[in-house]
């Protein structure tokens, strides 16, 4: 995210993260960019979210909404707008 420029991201109020995994991107956003009112994370694997919650304290973040579903399906059905979208998925 340093390559994007933190000054640009300081005005972000809502973020969509496609691919949560261990939650490291969420941790960086919460630590480095303080203005996030909402982070919506989407991950297809419920076991990964379970492990991230148990071992990486994913559940400790406020204003975090996790959706367990395929990112493509989420994007097709989502009507919410986001200031910043971070894609960290692979197949």
Tell me the average confidence (pLDDT) per consecutive run of 10 residues in the chain, 91 residues long: 66 90 88 78 96 92 93 96 91 72
CA distance 30 to 79: 24
For position 3, what pLDDT does the model report?
61
For position 34, what pLDDT does the model report?
65
């Amino acid at each position: 995210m340093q390559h994007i420029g933190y000054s640009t991201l300081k005005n972000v109020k809502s973020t969509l993260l496609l691919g949560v995994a261990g939650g490291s991107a969420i941790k960086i956003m919460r630590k480095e960019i303080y203005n996030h009112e909402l982070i919506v994370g989407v991950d297809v694997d419920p076991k990964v979210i379970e492990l991230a919650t148990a071992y990486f304290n994913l559940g400790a973040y406020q204003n975090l909404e996790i959706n367990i579903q395929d990112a493509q399906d989420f994007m097709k059905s989502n009507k919410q707008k986001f200031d910043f979208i971070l894609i960290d998925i692979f197949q």
